[in-house]
Amino acid sequence: MLPLQAQTLKLLDSYPTFSGEEISLQSVLGSKPVYLKFWATWCLDCRRELPSLQRSYEQYHNDIAMYAVNLNINETDDAIRQLQHESGLTMPIVIDQNGSIASNFNFVGTPFHVLINTRGEVVYTTYRNDAKLAFKLAQLAKGQKVAVSIEEPSEQALQGLDNLVPKTGTSLLYFSAVWCDTYMLDVDASIAANCVNANKTINQLFTDNPQLNIQAYVTHLWTNNSDIADYQQRLKIMYAVNMDKQNTLFRHYQAKGYPTLIVLKQGKEVARFSDFSLLQKVGSKLQFYTN
């Protein structure tokens, strides 16, 4: 068996931080060890881990470059600011641009932790904030070698994704999450309600316009195939629902949250909807674009 190789990253030139500054993660790699903590304000486990994250930052920030990487999905500045204040988090918050940081990893949910050595190689990833993570952090801070333990990344290229959408007629791309109407109910009821309304809208469109090409995708985060089946049964969804592995299509069309509905004509985007709070208003606009 070949030895497990450390993973390297593909990153943009710079990323915004919540404080308003730009940071080049690429330039940090190789200069010192790096710890990336992927999180979202609506992730309850992420919230519970913030005090521990802050303690780790206070202990190691001089020896390790540490960043709280926000997924930037269904986020608002107010939600980040409030949680930052409540938890006393001083660790820099990096806003992932179109998932280009997260896409390096084959992870299926947050919280997710990534450790990178001084050669710029990912040597450890985990979902658990436990004693093993603490030990690996201590090793990094001391300049010790960290044994490689990672999940292989998914090598899904964006090349050719446009071919999934017909270049003639009207097509609808619908992005959602199987947990949007359930999990989010306890986190942000307005988001859950918006997801419920969106599903009603798409169901009605499918019923009234059988000629429409409706392509529905749910995020791979916190989702497996049985979850999709339950989702379709629970919401009485009649159209096909596919998993967007590694959120490839979501990133390709630069969607920002769930739900998102994109209307394409002749393969070109003509409208985009993310607020379904006023069903009648959305319905009338969709009739205009789909007739």
Please name which of 162, 184, 10 lies closest in space to residue 99, comparing C-alpha atoms: 10
Contacts of 224 by beta carbon, 8 Å cutoff, 6+ apart: none
Which top CATH class is 7-141?
alpha beta
> What pairs with residue 176 in β-bridges?
218
In this prediction, residue 166 carries a pLDDT of 67
Residue type at 203?
N
Strands 7-8 and 22-23: unpaired
pLDDT at 156: 45
End-to-end Cα spacing for the chain: 59
Q: In the CATH scheme, what is the homologous superfamily, with its name and number, of domain 161-290? A: Glutaredoxin (3.40.30.10)
Residues in the chain with pLDDT values less than 70: 1-7, 151-166
Q: How far apart are CA 60 and CA 38, in angstroms?
A: 18
Spatial distance between the Cα atoms of 81 and 53, rounded to a whole number of angstroms: 16
Q: Is 25 left (phi over 0), alpha (psi -120 to 50) or beta?
A: alpha
Q: Quote the tokens at residue 240.
A: 């096909």
Q: Where in the chain is the domain with CATH 3.40.30.10?
A: 7-141, 161-290
pLDDT score, position 245: 85
203/193 Cα distance (integer angstroms): 15
pTM of whole model > 0.85?
A: no
Q: How far apart are CA 117 and CA 150, in angstroms?
A: 13
CA–CA distance, 70 with 99 (Å, rounded to integer): 10
β-pairing, 34-39 with 65-70?
Answer: parallel
pLDDT at site 223: 93
Question: Minimal CA–CA distance to 68: which of 92, 34, 85?
Answer: 92
Query: Which two three-digit tokens encode residue 150?
Result: 């990672």
